Amino acid sequence: MTEHDLLDVAIKEARKGLTEGGVPIGSAIMDAQGHIVGKGHNLIFQTKDPTAHAEMCAARTAGIRNDWQSFTLATTLSPCLMCSGLITFYQIPRIIIGDDTTVPGARNTLSRHQISFEILNDPSCIDMLQTWIDENPKKWAVIEGHEHPNN
Protein backbone atom coordinates (compact mmCIF):
# COMPACT_ATOMS: atom_id res chain seq x y z
CA MET A 1 0.00 0.00 0.00
CA THR A 2 1.37 3.40 -0.96
CA GLU A 3 1.08 6.57 1.09
CA HIS A 4 -1.53 7.85 -1.38
CA ASP A 5 -3.53 4.64 -0.86
CA LEU A 6 -3.30 5.22 2.89
CA LEU A 7 -4.60 8.77 2.46
CA ASP A 8 -7.46 7.36 0.37
CA VAL A 9 -8.45 5.19 3.35
CA ALA A 10 -8.41 8.32 5.54
CA ILE A 11 -10.53 10.18 2.97
CA LYS A 12 -13.09 7.36 3.02
CA GLU A 13 -13.20 7.67 6.80
CA ALA A 14 -13.75 11.43 6.49
CA ARG A 15 -16.65 10.82 4.11
CA LYS A 16 -18.09 8.33 6.59
CA GLY A 17 -18.02 11.01 9.27
CA LEU A 18 -19.75 13.41 6.89
CA THR A 19 -22.59 10.93 6.26
CA GLU A 20 -23.02 10.60 10.05
CA GLY A 21 -23.46 14.36 10.40
CA GLY A 22 -19.98 14.85 11.80
CA VAL A 23 -16.85 16.70 10.79
CA PRO A 24 -15.26 15.24 7.63
CA ILE A 25 -11.81 14.48 9.00
CA GLY A 26 -10.39 10.97 8.72
CA SER A 27 -7.23 9.11 9.62
CA ALA A 28 -5.66 5.73 8.91
CA ILE A 29 -2.61 3.93 10.28
CA MET A 30 -0.45 1.50 8.32
CA ASP A 31 2.19 -0.90 9.64
CA ALA A 32 5.60 -1.53 8.05
CA GLN A 33 4.15 -4.32 5.90
CA GLY A 34 1.55 -1.97 4.41
CA HIS A 35 -1.44 -3.33 6.33
CA ILE A 36 -4.08 -1.04 7.80
CA VAL A 37 -3.95 -1.46 11.58
CA GLY A 38 -6.27 1.38 12.54
CA LYS A 39 -8.66 3.87 11.02
CA GLY A 40 -11.17 6.35 12.26
CA HIS A 41 -12.95 9.62 11.71
CA ASN A 42 -13.77 12.62 13.82
CA LEU A 43 -16.63 11.74 16.18
CA ILE A 44 -16.78 14.77 18.46
CA PHE A 45 -20.36 15.72 17.56
CA GLN A 46 -21.62 12.15 17.34
CA THR A 47 -20.21 11.18 20.76
CA LYS A 48 -20.01 14.59 22.51
CA ASP A 49 -16.38 13.64 23.27
CA PRO A 50 -13.99 16.53 22.58
CA THR A 51 -11.05 14.11 22.30
CA ALA A 52 -12.67 12.01 19.55
CA HIS A 53 -10.49 13.42 16.79
CA ALA A 54 -9.81 11.24 13.74
CA GLU A 55 -6.23 10.40 14.75
CA MET A 56 -7.30 9.47 18.28
CA CYS A 57 -10.09 7.26 16.93
CA ALA A 58 -7.68 5.56 14.51
CA ALA A 59 -5.26 4.90 17.38
CA ARG A 60 -8.08 3.45 19.47
CA THR A 61 -8.92 0.96 16.71
CA ALA A 62 -5.23 0.03 16.42
CA GLY A 63 -5.28 -0.91 20.09
CA ILE A 64 -2.44 -1.72 22.46
CA ARG A 65 0.66 -2.54 20.42
CA ASN A 66 4.42 -2.46 20.69
CA ASP A 67 5.20 -1.58 17.07
CA TRP A 68 4.00 2.05 16.83
CA GLN A 69 7.53 3.12 15.84
CA SER A 70 7.12 1.36 12.47
CA PHE A 71 3.78 2.96 11.54
CA THR A 72 2.75 5.60 9.04
CA LEU A 73 -0.31 7.68 9.89
CA ALA A 74 -2.34 9.50 7.26
CA THR A 75 -4.77 12.23 8.19
CA THR A 76 -6.98 14.39 6.00
CA LEU A 77 -6.21 17.48 8.12
CA SER A 78 -2.95 18.54 9.74
CA PRO A 79 -2.89 17.14 13.31
CA CYS A 80 -3.77 19.47 16.17
CA LEU A 81 -1.61 19.76 19.28
CA MET A 82 -3.49 16.94 21.07
CA CYS A 83 -3.14 14.53 18.14
CA SER A 84 0.48 15.56 17.61
CA GLY A 85 1.01 14.66 21.27
CA LEU A 86 -0.34 11.17 20.58
CA ILE A 87 1.95 10.86 17.54
CA THR A 88 5.04 11.97 19.45
CA PHE A 89 4.20 9.91 22.55
CA TYR A 90 3.96 6.71 20.51
CA GLN A 91 6.84 7.82 18.25
CA ILE A 92 4.97 7.28 15.00
CA PRO A 93 7.78 8.24 12.61
CA ARG A 94 5.89 9.28 9.47
CA ILE A 95 2.75 11.34 8.90
CA ILE A 96 0.93 11.95 5.62
CA ILE A 97 -1.13 15.16 5.73
CA GLY A 98 -3.94 15.63 3.24
CA ASP A 99 -4.64 19.31 4.05
CA ASP A 100 -2.63 21.85 5.98
CA THR A 101 -4.12 24.93 4.32
CA THR A 102 -7.46 24.95 6.15
CA VAL A 103 -5.80 24.57 9.57
CA PRO A 104 -1.99 24.38 9.75
CA GLY A 105 -2.03 22.19 12.86
CA ALA A 106 0.96 21.57 15.11
CA ARG A 107 3.70 20.83 12.58
CA ASN A 108 6.30 22.48 14.81
CA THR A 109 5.61 19.88 17.50
CA LEU A 110 6.11 17.10 14.97
CA SER A 111 9.34 18.67 13.70
CA ARG A 112 10.75 19.14 17.21
CA HIS A 113 10.31 15.41 17.81
CA GLN A 114 11.90 14.41 14.49
CA ILE A 115 8.57 13.14 13.10
CA SER A 116 8.74 13.31 9.32
CA PHE A 117 5.65 14.47 7.50
CA GLU A 118 4.60 14.89 3.92
CA ILE A 119 2.04 17.54 3.08
CA LEU A 120 0.01 16.56 0.02
CA ASN A 121 -2.62 19.33 0.11
CA ASP A 122 -4.99 16.98 -1.67
CA PRO A 123 -7.83 18.96 -3.30
CA SER A 124 -10.48 16.47 -2.15
CA CYS A 125 -9.39 16.87 1.49
CA ILE A 126 -9.33 20.65 1.25
CA ASP A 127 -12.64 20.95 -0.61
CA MET A 128 -14.51 18.48 1.60
CA LEU A 129 -13.58 20.25 4.83
CA GLN A 130 -13.93 23.78 3.47
CA THR A 131 -17.40 22.99 2.13
CA TRP A 132 -18.38 21.58 5.53
CA ILE A 133 -17.01 24.67 7.32
CA ASP A 134 -18.93 26.98 4.97
CA GLU A 135 -22.14 24.99 5.61
CA ASN A 136 -21.58 24.58 9.38
CA PRO A 137 -19.96 27.75 10.73
CA LYS A 138 -21.44 27.34 14.24
CA LYS A 139 -20.14 23.78 14.56
CA TRP A 140 -16.73 24.90 13.29
CA ALA A 141 -16.72 27.69 15.90
CA VAL A 142 -17.28 25.01 18.57
CA ILE A 143 -14.33 22.99 17.23
CA GLU A 144 -12.15 26.08 17.20
CA GLY A 145 -13.18 26.83 20.80
CA HIS A 146 -14.97 30.06 19.94
CA GLU A 147 -18.49 28.97 20.83
CA HIS A 148 -20.15 26.74 23.40
CA PRO A 149 -21.81 23.65 21.86
CA ASN A 150 -25.19 24.51 23.44
CA ASN A 151 -25.41 27.97 21.79
Among 63, 41, 62, 43, which residue's Cα sits nearest to residue 52? 43
CATH number assigned to the domain comprising residue 41: 3.40.140.10
pTM reported for the whole predicted model = 0.94
Q: Please give the Cα distance from 57 to 83 (Å, whole number).
A: 10
> What residue numbers bound the domain in which 122 lies?
3-142
Please tell me which residue in 3, 20, 55, 147 is annotated as part of the active site: 55
At 74-121, the pLDDT tens digits run 999 999 999 999 999 999 999 999 999 998 888 889 999 999 999 999
**Is residue 149 domain-resident?**
no
CA distances from 11 to 34, 48, 101, 103, 126 (A): 17, 22, 16, 17, 11
Supply the pLDDT for residue 146: 64
Decide if 11 is inside a domain: yes
Domain-embedded: residue 38: yes
Domain count, the chain: 1
Q: Cβ-count burial of 143 within 10 angstroms (0-12 exposed, 13-18 middle, 19+ buried)? A: buried
151 is a domain residue: no
55 is catalytic: yes
What is the rounded radius of gyration, in angstroms, for the C-alpha atoms of the chain? Answer: 14
Q: Note the pLDDT of residue 145.
A: 73
The model's pLDDT over 36-70, given as tens digits with 9 standing for 90+, comes to 999 999 999 999 999 999 999 999 999 999 999 99
Tell me which H or E stretch contains 118.
Answer: strand 116-119
Q: 40 in a domain, yes or no?
A: yes
Report the alpha-carbon distance of residue 100 to residue 78 in Å, rounded.
5
Q: How much is the pLDDT for 104? A: 85
Task: Give the separation between CA 77 and CA 85, rounded to whole angstroms.
Answer: 15
What is the reported pLDDT for 144?
Answer: 78
Does residue 148 belong to any structural domain of this protein?
Answer: no
Residue 74 domain flag? yes
Report how far residue 131's alpha carbon sits from residue 151's, in angstroms, rounded to the nearest whole number: 22
**Number of residues in the chain:** 151
